[in-house]
Structure 1
Amino acid sequence: MKILSQINSPEDLRKIPLGTLPQLAQELREFIIDIVSTKEGHLGASLGVVELTIALHYIFDTPKDRLVWDVGHQAYGHKILTGRKELFDTNRQLGGISGFPKIDESEYDAFGTGHSSTSISAILGMALASKLKGETDRRHIAVIGDASIASGMAFEGLNHAGVTDVDMLIILNDNAIGIDPSVGALKKYLTNVKRGTAKDENIFECLNFDYSGPVDGNDLPNLISELKRLKARTGPKLLHIITTKGKGLQKAEENQVAYHAPGKFDKSTGEIHIKSVETEVPKYQDVFGHTLVELAKQNPKIVGITPAMPTGSSLKYMMEQIPDRAFDVGIAEQHAVTMAAGMAKEGTIPFCNIYSTFLQRAYDQVIHDVALQNLPVIFCLDRAGIVGEDGATHHGVFDLAYLRCIPNLIIFAPMNEMELRNIMYTAQLGLPNPIAIRYPRGQGTTLDWKRPFEEIAIGSSQELKKGSKIAILSLGTIGNRVGKVIDENDNNQQIGHYDMRFIKPLDTNRLEHIFQNYEYIITIEDACKAGGFGSAILELTNEMGYSNQIHMLGIDDAFLEHGTVDELHQLAEIDATSLRNLLNRIFDA
C-alpha cells in the first residue's frame, strides 16, 4: 500500500517511521504531477519543496504551529498533506479548492498568500500576538522564496523582526528563480553564499537573525535534523535552504520558466501539450511586447520596465533585442513605478508593465510619485479584468475604480489589438500626462493585427453601430462580445454600440449626443461596478442633467473566486447570455 494513501492529516504523517519519508516524497511528487498534468496549475514551485513540506509538518505541530507559504503556489504538497488530497483534482476549478493558501479553506492555511513577500510581516504579527496572549508553546514559520525576499516589504519585516525576541523561523527557499530567473544584487549575494565566496559578514546575521545554512532542501533526512535543531532554539531564526524548482520531473528542471505553470502535459515524458490555437491569434501580452520593440527601435527614448514578469508581460522581447533599455527590477512594484517616474522626469519614455492586480501594491507611488508630479509614465496593465483560475488574489478588476479617482491620469482600455498598438504609439509621441492602458489576459481577436500605426485622439470614442432606442457603451475587449450579441438580436436596428475606449477623460461630446438620442443606456465592463466605468457614466448624466435609464453590467461588490473566465463572466452576469436577457427585458417592457 502506498504511504500517501494512509495520510489524511499531518497527525497521520507524524506516525510513520522516519525511514519511509523519502518514499512518501516520491509518491507526493507523482501525485502532484499526475493531477497537474491534466488539470493544469502551478507545477515547478511545489515540486521543489516536497521534502520541505513533509519535514515541516513532520517536525512542527501544525495547525497549532503557524505555517505561512510565500508565494502560495508552493503549497500544493501542503494542501495534499493537510486533508485536501481527495479534493486536489478540483484545484483552481469553479467550486473547488484554491490554488493558493486560503484561511477560510483550511485551519492549516495560516494566512492567504496569493501575492508575494507578505509572509515575514504576517508571521511576525502572529508571533507577537501569541506572545501577548501568553502562548509560549506555539511556533511560527514562514517559507519565502529568494525572489520574494528581495521585495521591499520582506525587508521591512526582516528589519522589525530582527529586534524582537519572539520565536519565529524564516525559511529562505533559494532556487534562484521566481517565475522568471531571480535578479538583483541580493540574488548575486545568495549565489556567493552558496559558492562560499560571500564576504565575511552575513546579511541576515547583521539583521540579528540566528542564521544557518545553506543546506540542501531536497535532502529530507538532513532537513528534518536541522528543523528539529532549530525548533529547540528561541528568537528570530533564518534557515537558508537550496532547492531545485521542478525537482523530480526532468523537463521541469530543465525549463523552469515554462514549467512554472505549464498547462496540460504528458506526465510520463513531461512534454507540454501545445494548443493549436496559440499559433493563430496572438495574446495581448505579445501584441504589447512586439509593438514595444517596434516602437523602441524607432524612438531611442523608450525604455521598458517590469517587476519580475518579463515572460508573462512579454517584455522579454525587448530584453532580448534591446537589453540596455529593458529592466526587470524583481518583485518590487513600488520601486518599478518610482523608477519609471525618475526616468520620465529626465526625458525618457518609460513603458511600465505591471499586472493589474500587482499595481495595487504600488498605489501610493502611482499617486505621489507619478500623478502628483504629472510625469508621463505609460502604465501597461496586463491581466486586467477577470483572469480565471488564479482567483480572487489575481483578478484585475479594481483598477478602473482605484485609478479613476487620481487627478492627471489618463485611462484607456483597447477593444482589440490595433487599439492597443495605436494607443502605445500615441503615448510615446509625447503625452502631457501619465496614462494607464489596461488589457486582458489571453488571446485577441485579429489575425492581421500588425497594421500601420494611427494616432488616437485623447478622450475620443467610436460609434460602432447607430441605433435609436438602446445604446450599449462598452469599455475594452468585452466590446467584441457586445457586437455579436447585437447582431443576433431581432431588434438590432434599435441598438447602438459605442466603444468608449477612454474612461478618463470621457468623450463628453459623444456622451451628450447619446443621452439626447437614446432612451436606455447599458454600460458593460470587465471590472467592479463600484467606482468604475458605469459609475462614471452615471455621474456624468447627473452632472449634465439627463435622466436616461441606465443599466450597469459589471462585477458586484464581492470577491470573485476561481474558475474559467467564461464561468466567472457568467457568475458576474457580464456574459453574452446576461446581456441578451437584459436587452430582451427592455424590449419586452
Structure 2
Amino acid sequence: MTSTPQPQAPLLPLLTEIAGLETLQALPAADLPRLADEIRRFVVTQVCRAGGHLGPNLGVVELTIALHRVFASPYDALLFDTGHQAYVHKILTGRQDLFGSLRQSGGLSGYPSRAESAHDWVENSHASTALAYADGLAKARQLSREQHRNVVAIIGDGALTGGMAWEALNNLGASTDRPVIVVLNDNGRSYAPTCGALAGHLALLRHGGEEPQNLFRSLGFAYLGPLDGHDIAAVEQGLTQARDLDRPVLVHIVTVKGKGYPPAESDDADCLHAVSVVDPDTGRPPPRTQATSASWTSIFAQELADLAEQRSNVVAVTASMLRPTGLHPMATRFPDRVFDVGIAEQHAVTSAAGLAMAGYHPVVAMYATFLNRALDQVIMDVALHRLPVTFVLDRAGITGPDGPSHHGMWDLSLLTSVPHLRIALPRDADQLRQLLREAVDDADGPTVIRFPKGTVGRPVPAVARVDGIDILHRTSPGCQDVLLITTGPLAHPALEAAATVRSEGLGVTVVDPGWVQPVNETLMSMASRHHLVVTLEDGIRAGGIGSTITQAFQDAGVATPVITLGLPRTFIPHGNRAALLSEAGLDGPGIARCILQGAGRASSYGVRGLG
C-alpha cells in the first residue's frame, strides 16, 4: 500500500501522539475533546483533498473514541454497518499516515478492509448486515466458550430500516445467553431524513417526556439512552454499562451528521455525505474552468421528470437514495408519486410489483450493486408475473474509488437468466432518453436501463440503423472481417479499436443493439456475414451479455467464432475507473489487441480473410 506525504497544516499535536489504542486509552479524559477536534480537522483536510465520505465520519468522532476506550479491538469485535463512517476507526488503529492514499489505487480503502487491518472485521459496505454478522460471531463465541470477547455492532438509524437488520434483531433479542451490544447511531438520516414508522419511534425515544413504549425492550434488549453522542464521557459510561450487563443491549446514541463542520451541518440535502474534491472552507467543488458534460444521473433525472409530466401512471421508487439516483426532480414536481422505502431493496422491488399490478408503471432507481440484494424479488415477484416495472441501475460497471462492494459488475450476469426481462445499455445521452421512453412504454414485462457513474461522453451518432440495431462504424461493404458488438458507453473505445485494427488491414463493423436482451435476431445474420464476432460489456464476462449472445448464435446454428470481452470474475479493488477498465482490456488498445489476436487464432483454424 502506498502513501504520500501528509499536509503540514493544520498542526495536530495530540493526534500525532496517538501511536495506537494503548495511547488513546491512557489519554486523560480532559484531553479527549481536543483530540476530537483535531480528528475532525484531519478528516476535513484529507477528505476534501481526496474525496470520500465526509458527513458520516464527522458525526461519529466522539463515539469512535469512546468505543476504542471501552473495548479492546480486535480482541473485541467492532462491526461497522455500511462502513462509510470508519475513517475515525482507521485513524485510531494505526492508519493515519496512509490517508494520503485514500481511495487511490493500491492505497487506503474508503471502507473497512480486512487486508488492511485485523481491526476491520467486515468490509462489505452494503447496509443493514452488521447485526447478522454480530449474531453469527456471538454464536461462535458461545460455542468456543469465549463469551468474554465482546461483540459490538454499530448501525445507523438509516441502515436500521433494512429488512436484514430486523431479522437479526429478532434473533439477537431472544438470545439472552449470547450478549451482543448494538450501538444505534441515530442522526435522523441516511442520505436523506430517515423514513417510515421507525423514524417516528426514534423521535419519541429522543424527545419523549415520560418514556414511551420501547420497541427494543419489547424485542428483548436492555435499552440504554438516548445519550449525547458528542459527549465522550457519557458515551463511555453507557458503553461500559452495556458491556457489564452481559446480555443483548441496545445503546441509543444521538449524533449530528457532519458535526463540527459548518458546510456539512448547514447542508440540508445530505450533510455532505460523500464528496469529490472540494474546497475545505466551503465544502463546494472548485470552480470549473471549462464546461463539462452532464452526468448520466442528471440526464435520467430530467427525462424521468418530463415523462412523469406526460404520463400520470409513471411513479418512482427508491431505497433511501432519492438524490443519488436522480429522483429528486420528479419528487419536487410530483411528491405524491415518488416513494422512498428506506434501505430496503427487497421491499422496494415487491412494492413496485404491487404498484404495477394496479396499473401504474413504477421506475425503481437504485445503484446496480444494490439490485443484487433483491434478485429473488426481481425474478419471482416481478418477472414471474410479467409486470411492467422499469429498473434504472445507476453506477453500473466499474465505479472507481469505492471498491469491490460498489462496483456494479454483477447485474448483467444475474439478470440475463431472468425470463421476460429486457435489458438496455445506452451509449450516450440521447440514447438514454430514447431507451427510457421505450422502457416506460413497455407494458408487457419488466425492463432494465443501466449506466455508469460519472459524466456522459460525447454523442456517438449511428451511420445507419438496421432492424433496431445502430451501425456505428463500417468499412467498405466487401471487407467484413470482424463484427464488434458494443454495449453502453464502451462505444467510445470500440470505435477507437476499430480505427486501430483497420490500419492493420482488418475490416470492422461496429454495432450497438441498445436492447441487449433478448438478443436481436438481426445480429445472427450480421454475424454470419463476418469471420469473427467480438462482444463488449462492462460487467462480468462469465454469464453476461457476451455469453447470452454466444448461446443465441449456437442455438441459431451460427458458426462464426465469438470472443467475449468483459470484467474478470473476481473482486476488483478500488481505483480510477479508466485505469481499471484498461486493466480489464476494455479500453481502445486492449480491445484492438484482442481483435488482432483473435483474428490470428481464427486464421490458424482455417477461417479465411483474417490476419
Q: Pick the TM interval, shorter chain.
A: over 0.9
Determine whether 1:214 maps to 2:214. Answer: no
> 3-state DSSP class of the match of 1:567?
helix
Runs of 4+ that moved beyond 3 A: 268-272, 274-277, 446-449, 583-589
- 1:108 corresponding residue in structure 2: 119
- 2:398 corresponding residue in structure 1: 386
- 1:356 corresponding residue in structure 2: 368
- 1:453 corresponding residue in structure 2: none
Q: Which amino acid aligns with 2:17?
A: Q
- 2:241 corresponding residue in structure 1: 229
Q: Matched residues in 2 for 1:259 and 1:482: separation? A: 37
Q: Matched residues in 2 for 1:383 and 1:269: separation? A: 27
Q: Which amino acid aligns with 1:466?
A: R
- 1:191 corresponding residue in structure 2: 203
- 2:307 corresponding residue in structure 1: 295
Q: Matched residues in 1 for 2:313 and 2:406: separation? A: 32
Q: Is the contact made by 1:124 and 1:161 (CA closer than 8 Å) also made in structure 2?
A: yes
Q: Offset at 1:417?
A: 1.4
- 2:6 corresponding residue in structure 1: none
Q: Is the contact made by 2:195 and 2:342 (CA closer than 8 Å) also made in structure 1?
A: yes
Q: Offset at 1:276?
A: 5.1
Q: Which amino acid aligns with 1:188?
A: G
Q: Which amino acid aligns with 1:395?
A: H
Kindly report which structure 2 residues correspond to 1:26-41, keeping only aligned pairs within 5 A, or say none: 26-41=37-52
Q: Deviations over 1:427-463 (max 9, x none)?
A: 22243111111111111135899xxxxxx99x93222
Q: Is the contact made by 1:146 and 1:176 (CA closer than 8 Å) also made in structure 2?
A: yes
Deviation larger for 191-200 or 381-390:
191-200
Q: Offset at 1:514?
A: 2.2
Q: Is the contact made by 2:341 and 2:348 (CA closer than 8 Å) also made in structure 1?
A: yes
Q: Matched residues in 1 for 2:210 and 2:431: separation? A: 50
Determine whether 1:89 maps to 2:89. Answer: no
> 3-state DSSP class of the match of 1:290?
helix
- 1:439 corresponding residue in structure 2: 451
Deviation larger for 540-549 or 226-235:
540-549
TM normalised by structure 1 equals 0.95
Kindly report which structure 2 residues correspond to 1:266-281, keeping only aligned pairs within 5 A, or say none: 266-275=279-288, 280-281=292-293
Q: Which amino acid aligns with 1:272?
A: P
% identical aligned pairs: 37
Q: Which among 316, 319, 322 is matched to residue 307 of structure 1?
A: 319
Q: Is the contact made by 2:460 and 2:472 (CA closer than 8 Å) also made in structure 1?
A: no
> 3-state DSSP class of the match of 1:73?
coil
Q: Offset at 1:299?
A: 0.8
Q: Deviations over 1:57-79 (max 9, x none)?
A: 11101100000111200000001
Q: Which among 147, 161, 165 is matched to residue 172 of structure 2?
A: 161
Q: Is the contact made by 1:101 and 1:111 (CA closer than 8 Å) also made in structure 2?
A: yes
- 2:141 corresponding residue in structure 1: 130
Q: Offset at 1:481?
A: 2.4
Q: Deviations over 1:482-534 (max 9, x none)?
A: 123324542577111010222211112x2222222111211111010000011
> 3-state DSSP class of the match of 1:310?
coil
Q: Is the contact made by 2:154 and 2:184 (CA closer than 8 Å) also made in structure 1?
A: yes
Q: Deviations over 1:15-69 (max 9, x none)?
A: 2222211111111111111111111111110110000111101110110000011
- 2:78 corresponding residue in structure 1: 67
Determine whether 1:466 maps to 2:474. Answer: yes
C-alpha change, 1:460 and 1:151, in structure 2 (3 Å) is same
Determine whether 1:476 maps to 2:488. Answer: yes
Q: Is the contact made by 2:279 and 2:285 (CA closer than 8 Å) also made in structure 1?
A: yes
- 1:49 corresponding residue in structure 2: 60
- 2:3 corresponding residue in structure 1: none
Q: Is the contact made by 1:69 and 1:113 (CA closer than 8 Å) also made in structure 2?
A: no
Give the aligned CA root-mean-square deviation in angstroms. 2.0
Deviation larger for 429-438 or 118-127:
429-438
Q: Which among 329, 333, 353 is matched to residue 321 of structure 1?
A: 333
- 1:263 corresponding residue in structure 2: 276
Q: Which amino acid aligns with 1:57?
A: H
Q: Which among 282, 296, 307 is matched to residue 284 of structure 1?
A: 296
Kindly report which structure 2 residues correspond to 1:437-516, keeping only aligned pairs within 5 A, or say none: 437-446=449-458, 460-467=468-475, 468-488=480-500, 489-491=502-504, 494-508=507-521, 510-516=522-528
Deviation larger for 383-392 or 464-473:
464-473
C-alpha change, 1:463 and 1:269, in structure 2 (3 Å) is closer
Q: Matched residues in 2 for 1:263 and 1:492: separation? A: 44
C-alpha change, 1:318 and 1:197, in structure 2 (3 Å) is farther
- 1:452 corresponding residue in structure 2: none
Q: Can you give the 5+ residue segments of structure 1 that lack an aligned partner in the other structure? A: 450-455
Q: Matched residues in 1 for 2:210 and 2:170: separation? A: 21
Q: Can you give the 5+ residue segments of structure 2 that lack an aligned partner in the other structure? A: 1-11, 601-610
Q: Deviations over 1:344-394 (max 9, x none)?
A: 001011111111100111111101100111111111111111111111001
Q: Which amino acid aligns with 2:35?
A: L
Q: Is the contact made by 1:94 and 1:567 (CA closer than 8 Å) also made in structure 2?
A: no
Q: Matched residues in 1 for 2:137 and 2:545: separation? A: 39
- 1:539 corresponding residue in structure 2: 551
Q: Offset at 1:181?
A: 2.1
TM normalised by structure 2 equals 0.91
- 2:603 corresponding residue in structure 1: none
